[in-house]
Amino acid sequence: MQRLVTTKEASEILGLSLQGIHYRIKNNQLKSQKKDGKLFVYLDDNLTYNNQNSNTNNHNIKLDFNTFDKVIESKDEQISLLKKSIKWMRKQYVSEIERLEKNQKRIIEVFNSEIKLLQSAFNEMRAIYKPQIEDKKEFSKSSSSSNEFITIKEFFAILKRANKSEIEIKGIIFNAIKKGDKRFIYNKKDKKLLILNEDFNDLI
């Protein structure tokens, strides 16, 4: 039995070029027929089947070795790249953790240092300015505790009970001094601060 195949299929089955197929058609070595403007070639079914099997087997053999080697090589490259990427990410992670820990320690040290400085300044100012302030009418209050002072630490504690952070409390102090709040007595020359023991509800 014979069946019609395209010239391209015939070249693959017979192992010939397209020119070789056309040459054999021209010399009546292969029977051909045109359908819908396309040229077809008659080939024996057994020849077609055997050649297809042979080509498939040879192709499979080549794929078995070549494809396997390429797949292994590709996988090895991917594994190597992944290992390098994981190693790099681990270093970056450790480095970032160390950096954050150092920054946290610096911030804590700065805050502690500032609190100590403020406390020291308060103690000095209290000894120097308290007698003068007590004599001034503008700072006199009706209650017996009107001329008493509180420490900066105590002021921080009052506002912290109102859920204020240290940064917010510092901002409150600076804004109060800037606005001329009489509860906060600041000596620009000596950079000393005194805080009168009054009601701070308006700052909470």
The whole-number pLDDT of residue 168 equals: 92
**Cα separations in angstroms, 160 against 56, 165, 186:** 82, 6, 22
Could you give the residue ranges of the DSSP H alpha helices within the chain? 7-14, 18-26, 45-62, 68-135, 152-160, 166-179
| Across 78-107, average pLDDT | 88
DSSP conformation letters of 143-195: STTTT-EE-HHHHHHHHHTTT--HHHHHHHHHHHHHHT-TTEEEETTTTEEEE
Of residues 64 and 128, more confidently modeled = 128
The whole-number pLDDT of residue 156 equals: 92
| Across 174-198, average pLDDT | 88
55 has a pLDDT exceeding 70: no
69 has a pLDDT exceeding 70: no
Q: Give Cα 103 distance to the centre of its chain.
A: 19
* Residue 10 binned pLDDT confidence (cut-offs 50, 70, 90): confident
The whole-number pLDDT of residue 146 equals: 43
Q: Are 30 and 18 within 8 A, CB to CB?
A: no
The whole-number pLDDT of residue 111 equals: 82
| Across 31-39, average pLDDT | 87
User: At a CB cut-off of 8 Å and minimum separation 6, what does 162 contact?
Assistant: 204
- Domains assigned to the chain: 2-62 (1.10.1660), 136-203 (no CATH)
Out of 2-16, 125-139, 186-200, least confident range: 125-139
Q: Which of these, 48, 53, 30, lies nearest to 40 by C-alpha position?
A: 30
* Residue 64 binned pLDDT confidence (cut-offs 50, 70, 90): low
Mean pLDDT of the residues in the chain: 80
